[in-house]
Amino acid sequence: MKKISLALSGGGIRAYAQIGVYRLLKENNFEIESLSGTSMGSIIASFIATGADYSQLEKVMFELEKGFLEKQVFLRPSLRVLPMSKRKLNGLVDADMFEEMIQSQFDKFNVKNLSDLSKPISITSVDLITGKLVVFTNTPEAFKNHPDKIVISNASVTEAVRASCSFPIIFSTKRYDNMQLVDGGVKMNLPVALLRTMNANKIISITMDGKMKYKASNKLLNVAFRIIDIMTSANQESDRLLSDYNINIDVTKYNTFDAGKGKRIVDQAYKEACSQLDRILLVTE
């Protein structure tokens, strides 16, 4: 059995491509030793870290997607009409509901805290107040010599992934202690470096990049999305080079918030990953 570690990037619904890749890896008897994840990749990484097999992962992620559709969590922001709320929100989506949906799935695995996960994992977020990278992890000892990072090990899994998924402007930020946390992709969209710090060997990273066409726009959200795309692409490239092998699945024809397209993305990713199997086997020998 080949032992590898996985670094899963953020990408909204496009990150469902990672499920198709995971299927291929499990079918070919790869053992996942440790994981890292950002944004939607942190959710998928966390479910894998419970010890879930492919069918379990697919089931919970499709159930989440169904919930996103029913509760309009991933409704395209340009179409969203903000509900009246007594609470002051700093995003178009009140992510507390998102957090509750995720916890309901982790309850099926009897998982609440990071310490309940059976595999080493690190999840990224960013503190808006200090500007520092925040690492939620069940292996804090690996980061003891990294004062440039804020390391948290006593959080729940849903707190960690909620913080990592707090896409700027879209999702409300996550308050934790004295911090205001946003999507880890702001500083580290592909957390290969965290796995290196955890002394992982044979790291496979999974991304969903491609050439996206952008038209000039005066709309605030369109400009914001483009800025975030440029920012995450730039900070991701150096981390990609840190991995032993990068599997890139181009699903940029789908919008980040295209809930309902998950099955198509999974199937495309599995097919494309199969075409790379020989290279994956060679690199991980």
The mean pLDDT of the chain is: 89
The tens digit of pLDDT for each residue in 72-90 reads 765 544 444 444 344 445 5
**CB-based burial of residue 116 (10 Å sphere; 0-12 exposed, 13-18 middle, 19+ buried)?**
middle
Task: Report which DSSP code applies to 93.
Answer: B
Backbone angles phi, psi at 137, to 5 degrees: -155, 155
CATH number reported for the structural domain that contains residue 42 in this entry: 3.40.1090.10
User: Cα(281)–Cα(1) distance, rounded to whole angstroms?
Assistant: 11
Q: How many domains are contained in the chain? A: 1
Whether the CB-CB separation of 160 and 114 falls below 8 Å is answered with yes
The tens digit of pLDDT for each residue in 161-197 reads 999 999 877 788 899 999 999 999 999 999 999 999 9
Q: What share of the chain is helix, strand, coil (3-state, %, to 5)?
A: 45, 20, 40
The tens digit of pLDDT for each residue in 33-48 reads 999 999 999 999 999 9
User: Cα(84)–Cα(99) distance, rounded to whole angstroms?
Assistant: 20
Query: Domain range spanning residue 99?
Result: 2-283
The tens digit of pLDDT for each residue in 123-166 reads 999 999 999 999 999 999 999 999 999 999 999 999 999 999 99
